Amino acid sequence: MPSLNPKTILIVEDESDTAEMYTQMLQRNGYAVMKASGGIAAMKQLLNIKPDLILLDLMMPDVSGLEVLRFLRREPQLHDLPVVIVSAKSLPEDIQKGIEAGASLYLTKPIAYRELIQSISNLLADHL
């Protein structure tokens, strides 16, 4: 049963097929979804809205997800937002850079449906 006040998740992903797949997964689990197709679009959106969680890709054509994450952590009204990096970059040093930049969680692509939903659910519960 859908929640009367669904949690809102911003998907920052430049690959439209991937963004749509995440959207369907999240909406099926009762989340409201917003999308930004790149880092600059995400930063502009975040000046006007505050989602409950951000799903963030690292490799985008305009600015990297790490730059978006650093922007978030500098903004007083956004610095505490849970951010889940979902990236194909899976080397230990890539994961370390993401965590050091302020990611709440770092997941590697391809991501399993259950893992994504469980990770988001856990982070949102911890963030209440």
| 123 pLDDT more than 70 | yes
| 127 pLDDT more than 90 | no
Contact between 36 and 11 (Cβ < 8 Å): yes
State how far the Cα of 41 lies from the Cα of 31, in Å rounded to an integer: 21
Tell me the pTM.
Answer: 0.94
Q: What residue ranges do the domains of the chain occupy?
A: 8-126
CATH number of 8-126: 3.40.50.2300
The DSSP result for 80-110, as a single string, is T--EEEEES--SHHHHHHHHHHT-SEEEESS
pLDDT of residue 5: 80
pLDDT of residue 3: 54
| 128 pLDDT more than 90 | no
pLDDT tens-digit readout, 50-70:
999 999 999 999 999 999 999
Percent of the chain with pLDDT over 70: 97
